[in-house]
Structure 1
Amino acid sequence: MLYAIIQSDDTWVLWAFLAWWAAVSIYLEQKYEWASKISGAIIALVGAMLLANFNVIPTDSPVYDTVWSYVVPLAIPLLLFQSSILKIWNESGRLLLMFLISAIGTVVGSIVGFFLLKDLIPGLDKVTAMMTGSYIGGSVNLAALSARFETPGELVSSAVVADNLMMALYFLVLILIPTLNFFRKKFKTPHIDEVESMSDHGSENLAASYWNGKEISLKDIGLAVGTAFVLVAISFKLAAFFARIIPSGEDAPFFLHALHGILGDNYLMLTTITLLAVTMFSRYFESIKGSHEIGTYLIYIFFVVIGVPASLPIILQNAPLLLVLVFIMVALNMIISFVLGKVFKFNLEEVILASNANIGGPTTAAAMAISKGWSKLVAPILIVGTLGYIIGNYIGAAIGYWFGMY
């Protein structure tokens, strides 16, 4: 680990940076037109990336792990309090199909990358299997597949750093795409149009219009945060219970393995429990104001953390060719997603979120939907992206066994 001015165990200073930079990103987005166009998400991510690469903040810290373990799970239910399960069902079908199309791009990228680089990187079959699973279902699959194929630790570490940098850069590209006229002309953009129609097109920018002031009381804050904690606690306990009682080893039948992946996954269980609770007690959840704002601020802290591990010096020191591998995989995922998305007449927002959910997982895709104001797509992409954990695990394993023959 490279030396940083702020050390990884300087907890309060790191938390101050995360909370403050998230707030500054939101302020700039709503204050200045230029910041609104590039979005607060990019400001949050790029700022953290620059400070990490200039060794101001560390690239790894227990503080960042806390954001993944606690902040993100709390944000998810807060952002689903106003969700209609019927609308989510109607939207999820299209997103699932687009997600599967995007996954084809990942597989094509892994095949091309492997056969181009297999003579240059020892153990590439194991790394490609890991990255295939990761670029269909997220980092959960990367950890599972690295254990399955007993990938050497130093190779895993280098691949993770390369993955973090590429994911952060691609995340920036996906956020910028809706602002480009080329893509706006080629695809339908109903959710973007809806957000823009909510603006008065006056001196106030789109972000400020979308997040205009609302009446909120101490009771609202208490109920919103308290309910979110309860939902997370119940969901994670249930997921842990099912993960414990349902077999998932290599000898387990496919059905049980899949059931373990669905019922034993924290985020899928959290999304399911929240949606059931919102549907059954709709009047209670609709009466709570401010949950969307609180959840979004927590997601902006998550944006900051995404940019932190992308350390270019570490990649250049350890394994620059792994950066080439992940670039090939991400580039082909993007090309195939957008080309086939256009052929099958998907909306631009659906293509962007499906590709994001493949490369970054459901949390980054949901975060992007939130930052852009595509509120109707937040829950669907969380559901579809979380199901990718199961799909990616099997496809990554198949790729690993195939490439291992070479």
Structure 2
Amino acid sequence: MLLTTILSVGFPFLALRLEKNDRLPSFFSAVVLCYAFGIIIGNLLPQLVHEQTAEQLAAVGMIIALPMLLFGANIKENWRLAGPGLLAYGLCAIAGLIGTALAAYYFQESQPDGWKVAGMLTGLYTGGTPNMQAIGIAVDAPGDYVVLLQASDIVGGGIYLLMLMTIIHPFLGRFLPSFSMDQIDKAEEASLEEANNGFRFLPTIISLGVGAAAAGLTYLLTGDIGKHTTLLILLLTTISLGLSFSPRISNLRGAYLQGEYFLLIFCVALGLMANFQKLLGEGLQLLAFSLVALISTILIHWLLAKIFKIDRDTVMISSTAALYGPVFIAQVTTAINNRRLLAPGIALSLLGLAIGNYLGIGVAYLAKWLLIQF
């Protein structure tokens, strides 16, 4: 029990250090490293893992992480910053909804709970990994699904990220207009990078309060928190977004970085619970599902961008914001030599983090209903 806690809480610190190592490929993010570490320990040294403790750490990690990740969403400010990228991002979100729905329909026979996967992938393709993890909890998906989909995203998402930073820019130039420097009046250097001033108690205390409030409301409304995790996640998201309108909350120093750290605790704990034999048995099916959803999302996004005549740079940044979150915006803007889209890209990714849970949970239950009807 103690060792499981030490592994889950301690490794994220090392993962964040390794993430900054230039020798590692860019898709080896701290999230990927934490999942990989958890899976390796959980399968090679299962005697070190106390499964009940890992499960509790995963739940607590997500409940504490999500509010702190959302505190900086600042929807009003980010809406202004995003500018013309809002349309491109909206089209990417629509493409994600259609792409995941198509995958759920295509795999309905071989993946009977594909509606859960569709919802999780919708969250992944609109806000990133935190949304996928939260939606997985909300729809009561098996814990292995989060790890399997993350592994699948490393394959498909890693390839697409590499293409975004290499060949996609000239390719999109064949049928999309070039970026106009007059499109953005001023690119404010908004960034998620914060000085490493150590752990701050206030963001964590407020996040714990939000979690307690969401859990309390869920209990009052339903009488059972465990069976109504969807409501818990929605309340957690809504309360956090409401608080983000307060400058005192949205400007809390260290909130995002601490939220990321608790998210990594969730990743390690979930990896520790992953059964490798099950991964081998079900991994190929979910890999195929996620690849169909990803490729469909990308192609539909490009088609919509062509119809609405959106420039290639904005399309690429909106796609990066939706599929990868804020951490890779700087890499792609540097690769396409357009730093003016850095601030709007980060703004879009934060908006995606804010709406991803609503979209993902909505798509999951809509897909469930449609699959029953048809």
Matched, 1:348 2:308: no
CA distance in 2, matches of 1:292, 1:176: 27
Counterparts of residues 197-236 of structure 1 (less than 5 Å): 211=193, 213-215=195-197, 221-236=200-215
The Cα of 1:93 is off from its aligned counterpart by 6.9
Three-state SS of the structure 1 residue aligned to 2:203 is helix
- Identical aligned residues as a percent: 14
Q: Which runs of 5+ in 1 are unaligned?
A: 1-10, 119-123, 147-155, 190-196, 199-208, 246-259, 357-364
Greater Cα offset, 304-313 or 98-107: 304-313
Distance 1:269 1:175, change over 3 A: farther
What is the aligned counterpart of 1:274 among 214, 217, 240?
240
Q: Residue 326 of structure 1 aligns with which residue? A: 286
Q: Partner letter of residue 28 of structure 1? A: L
Larger radius of gyration: 1
The Cα of 1:293 is off from its aligned counterpart by 2.3
Q: Which runs of 5+ in 2 are unaligned?
A: 124-131, 173-177, 180-187, 306-313, 331-344
CA distance in 1, matches of 2:319, 2:47: 34
CA distance in 2, matches of 1:231, 1:36: 36
Three-state SS of the structure 2 residue aligned to 1:80 is helix
Q: Residue 369 of structure 2 aligns with which residue? A: 397
CA distance in 2, matches of 1:49, 1:66: 17
Q: Partner letter of residue 24 of structure 2? A: A
Distance 1:94 1:225, change over 3 A: same
Q: Residue 106 of structure 1 aligns with which residue? A: 100
Equivalent residues of 2:156, 2:294 under 8 A apart: no
Q: Partner letter of residue 356 of structure 2? A: G
Q: Partner letter of residue 275 of structure 1? A: L
The Cα of 1:310 is off from its aligned counterpart by 4.4
Q: Residue 347 of structure 2 aligns with which residue? A: 376
Three-state SS of the structure 1 residue aligned to 2:71 is coil
The Cα of 1:334 is off from its aligned counterpart by 0.9
Describe the superposition over 1:239-265 as per-residue Cα deviations: whole angstroms up to 9, x where unpaired.
Answer: 4445579xxxxxxxxxxxxxx99xx72
Counterparts of residues 50-89 of structure 1 (less than 5 Å): 50-56=40-46, 61-89=51-79
Describe the superposition over 1:193-230 as per-residue Cα deviations: whole angstroms up to 9, x where unpaired.
Answer: xxxx98xxxxxxxxxx97563556x8xx2322222222
What is the aligned counterpart of 2:112 among 118, 126, 144?
126
Distance 1:13 1:231, change over 3 A: same
Q: Partner letter of residue 170 of structure 1? A: D
The Cα of 1:73 is off from its aligned counterpart by 1.9
Report how many residues are paired. Answer: 319
Q: CA RMSD in A?
A: 4.1
The Cα of 1:63 is off from its aligned counterpart by 2.7
Give TM-score, length-normalised by structure 1. Answer: 0.63
Describe the superposition over 1:39-65 as per-residue Cα deviations: whole angstroms up to 9, x where unpaired.
Answer: 323222222233334344678822332
CA distance in 2, matches of 1:241, 1:103: 33
Give TM-score, length-normalised by structure 2. Answer: 0.68
Describe the superposition over 1:65-117 as per-residue Cα deviations: whole angstroms up to 9, x where unpaired.
Answer: 22332222212222333332214456677545423321322232233334xxx
